[in-house]
Amino acid sequence: MDLFFGWRTAVLAVAAAILLPLAAGLWISLRNRPASRTLAALLVVMTGVFVPWLIGFAGFYDRWWWLTYAPFSNALLVPPLLYLHAFALVYGRWPALAWRHLLPGAVQFTYQTAAFLLPTPLKHRWADLAFTAGDMIAALLLAISFVVYGVWIIRLLRRYRLALSQERSDDARFATAWLTHAATAYPLLAIVWAGWLLVDAAIPLGYTGLMPLYAAIAGFALYLGIAGWRFLVLPFPTLDALRIPEISSLPGRDWQAQGLEWAGRTREGGWHRDDELTLRRLAALLATNESYLSRALNEGLGTGFSAFVNGLRCEDVAAALAAGDPRPLLVIALDAGFASKASFNRAFQRRYGRSPSAYRASHKP
């Protein structure tokens, strides 16, 4: 039988041609190495997931039947690698005994390899017996894995974003928006992937029926790889370093008054205009410690560190706009200490309930 290279093969081949060099570049990257190498492994695994369809649409399995059970696709490795990548990004390392997370994928790979090495007549009989049941079991395990690791990833990223907002004023620089988008895309991928496989196991959809699923997997892998390449160059603060030590309660301390005093001194000193201001730096400027400052902000003023500093920056921008400052909004925002236009727009909308441009328009004579 002749091979046929149609548009389906072309789409998946282009995705693989981008993903594999991207994975190689991430593997040799010197920045955030644990997270970079985990993401590289994830991209290779996700490429392997759609390789059987890439070569299947071209007619490889019809021409060379012995390729059946070739261990290209190990989908059970995808959810744990997604979790390990998020963990490495947040902590700068893998968790203890991380290899246990990879055991289901290793079992799947071992099973496929053993079936692939069977003599061809025996492989024929085993495929007739086990294909449908094996696909159903794999789809169920994948669905469970997506749910469990999805919950862990979302909790981990929420904890990291909260810790960043309590410690740094430039928390938006560390790809928190990207982490949020990834956490949102993850359950969508899980629903589409596991759901489509379960439907296919019950009612076979055939090669063409599964093409949208594998195109979606390739697209998600490309998104992860390109976004990861952009953001992994940042020196992400680790979650361990962001944790603020607890202190015992101090009876009689008026944290609200203390917070108001320190807020006034911060405003007068213009310290909030430092776009890399941290809790530690501001505590040193105020001649106090991080724990006291954190408590004064959270208990006294009812706000986190990032929201407090960005609120002062928004006040500066609002004062400039009310005074008729003709400079572009971004220039005013950068002078006030914001690191990006996106973080400025979000903070200003949250503080004043309208966009900066609408605020400026309302103060024009």
What pLDDT shows up at residue 147?
85
Task: Name the domain count of the chain.
Answer: 2
Q: pTM above 0.75?
A: yes
Is 140 in the same domain as 231? yes
- Asked if 47 and 20 count as a contact pair (C-beta separation under 8 A), the reply is yes
**Widest CA span of the chain, in angstroms?**
87
> Phi-psi region for residue 26, left (φ > 0), alpha (ψ -120 to 50) or beta?
alpha
pLDDT in tens, 5-17: 888 889 999 999 9
pLDDT along the chain (365 residues), means of 10: 79 94 91 89 94 87 84 92 90 91 94 89 81 77 87 86 81 63 69 76 74 87 85 76 60 80 91 88 89 88 90 92 89 89 87 90 79
Q: Which residue has the tokens 């500093």?
A: 309
Is 91 in the same domain as 133? yes
Structural domain contains residue 116: yes
- Asked if 3 and 59 count as a contact pair (C-beta separation under 8 A), the reply is yes
Structural domain contains residue 163: yes
- Asked if 272 and 281 count as a contact pair (C-beta separation under 8 A), the reply is no
Structural domain contains residue 34: yes
Is 175 in the same domain as 27? yes
What pLDDT shows up at residue 180?
63
Is 265 in the same domain as 154? no
Q: Which residues pair with 67 in a beta bridge?
A: none
pLDDT in tens, 150-183: 889 888 888 888 888 888 877 776 655 566 666 6
Distances in Å between the Cα of 232 and the Cα atoms of 17, 74, 88, 94, 179 are 21, 25, 11, 16, 12
SS3 3: coil
Is 101 in the same domain as 118? yes
Amino acid (one-letter) located at 205? L
Structural domain contains residue 19: yes
Is 105 in the same domain as 16? yes
Structural domain contains residue 58: yes
Is 164 in the same domain as 260? no
Is 103 in the same domain as 133? yes
SS3 204: coil
Between 211-231 and 176-202, two packed helices, what is the crossing angle to 10 degrees?
Answer: 160
Neighbours of 163 (CB within 10 A): 21
Is 90 in the same domain as 178? yes
Is 274 in the same domain as 199? no
Structural domain contains residue 1: no
Structure tokens at 79: 């959810």
pLDDT in tens, 229-253: 877 767 778 888 776 655 555 556 7
Range of the domain at 91: 7-240
CATH code for the domain in which residue 21 is found:
1.20.1070
Q: Which residue has the tokens 């309590």?
A: 166
Is 191 in the same domain as 266? no
- Asked if 120 and 65 count as a contact pair (C-beta separation under 8 A), the reply is yes
Structural domain contains residue 2: no
What pLDDT shows up at residue 174?
67
CATH code for the domain in which residue 303 is found:
1.10.10.60
Q: Which of 240, 267, 296 is the last residue of a domain?
A: 240
The 3-state secondary structure of 51-64 reads HHHHHHHCCHHHHC
C-alpha to C-alpha distance for 239 and 232, rounded to whole angstroms: 16
Listed residue (173, 172, 174) closest to 307, CA to CA? 172
To the nearest 10°, the Cα dihedral for 194, 195, 200, 203?
A: 150
> Phi-psi region for residue 364, left (φ > 0), alpha (ψ -120 to 50) or beta?
beta
Q: Which of 240, 269, 302 is the last residue of a domain?
A: 240
Q: Which of 221, 240, 259 is the last residue of a domain?
A: 240
Is 33 in the same domain as 115? yes
